[in-house]
């Protein structure tokens, strides 16, 4: 399998930030929403990892990861979201069979204090 990572979010500014921050270290592709992500998975895949936002118009991250699980079972699925409630995490794990659920408030506090 390829080492490409697909980052999915409906906010193009966030996708640009991912490219600037991670693009030199990883082979990244970005998709502005779930429909574009599924198209890219089918036409430019396979992707080793898909990282998606939870809240997107049309198809949310849980629905997207569930479809990816069915169509591309070898792809690692990660949800990164600001909606870090327990119910969302449980639903994401059960429906999308995700590898990790990362809430942005956890990421922001993940570094130990000096």
**Most distant CA pair in the chain, distance:** 46
The predicted pLDDT at position 105 comes to 45
Tokens of 91: 């639903």
From 44, 4, 46, select the one nearest 25 (Cα to Cα).
Answer: 4
State the Cα–Cα distance between residues 43 and 39, nearest whole angstrom. Answer: 6
Answer whether residue 67 is part of any domain: yes
Name, in order, each residue with C-beta under 8 angstroms of 9's C-beta and a sequence gap of 6 or more: 15, 18, 30, 32, 33, 52, 53, 56
- Highest mean pLDDT: which of 8-12, 86-90, 101-105? 8-12
What mean pLDDT, rounded, does the chain reach? 79
CATH number, domain at 2? 3.40.50.2300
95 part of a folded domain: no
Rounded to an integer, what distance in angstroms lies between the CA atom of residue 71 and that of residue 28?
A: 20
Could you tell me if residue 107 is inside a domain? Answer: no
Q: Taking 60 as the threshold, does the pLDDT of residue 102 lie above it?
A: no
Identify the residue with better confidence: 42 or 85.
42
| pLDDT value at 88 more than 80 | no
CA 91, chain centre distance (Å): 15
| 91 lies in some domain | no
Q: Which domain holds residue 49?
A: 1-77
Instruction: Tell me which of 20-29, 56-65, 74-83, 89-98 is least confident.
Output: 89-98
* Inside any domain, residue 82: no
- Whether 65 maps to a domain, the answer reads yes
- Has this prediction a pTM greater than 0.85? no
What is the domain count for the chain? 1
Residue 106 lies in a domain: no
> What CA–CA distance (Å, rounded) separates 43 from 9?
19
Q: Helices 34-44 and 61-71, interaxial angle, to 10°?
A: 20
Q: Which residues, in sequence order, are bridge partners of residue 103? A: 81
């Amino acid at each position: 399998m390829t080492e490409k990572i697909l980052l999915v979010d409906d906010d193009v500014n966030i996708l640009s930030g991912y490219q600037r921050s991670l693009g030199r270290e990883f082979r990244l592709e970005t998709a502005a929403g779930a429909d574009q992500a599924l198209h890219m998975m089918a036409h430019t895949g396979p992707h080793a990892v898909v990282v998606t936002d939870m809240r997107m118009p049309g198809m949310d991250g849980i629905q997207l990861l569930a479809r990816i699980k069915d169509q591309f079972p070898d792809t690692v699925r990660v949800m990164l979201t600001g909606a870090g409630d327990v119910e969302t995490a449980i639903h994401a794990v059960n429906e999308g069979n995700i590898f990790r659920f990362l809430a942005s408030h956890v990421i922001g506090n993940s570094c130990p204090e000096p």
